[in-house]
Amino acid sequence: MDRQRAQEIVDAPKLINVTHNGTPVYIQHVDEHSDMARIYPLDSPNKEEDVPLKSLKEH
């Protein structure tokens, strides 16, 4: 996923279906300098992690 689209998803008023390695996730923040995103699985909000934007897929 590119940085601009990831930021649009973060700013969207409704939840947009995104996965990381097949797991549905919520994107909290996009780092514009490192092309990384702060995410967490929808079913485990306490498992935050930073992942490369290229590993995110929109469905």
**Which segments of the chain does DSSP mark as H helices, in order?**
3-11
DSSP state of 10: H
Largest CA distance in the chain: 28
E-assigned strands of the chain? Answer: 18-20, 23-31, 36-41, 49-52, 56-58
Domains in the chain: boundaries: 3-58
* pTM score above 0.85: yes
DSSP state of 11: H
Q: How far is CA 27 from CA 11, 23, 43, in A?
A: 10, 12, 13
The predicted pLDDT at position 25 comes to 98
pLDDT, tens digit (0-9, with 9 covering 90-100), for 10-46: 999 999 999 999 999 999 999 989 999 999 999 999 9
Q: In angstroms, how far is CA 40 from the centroid of its own chain?
A: 8
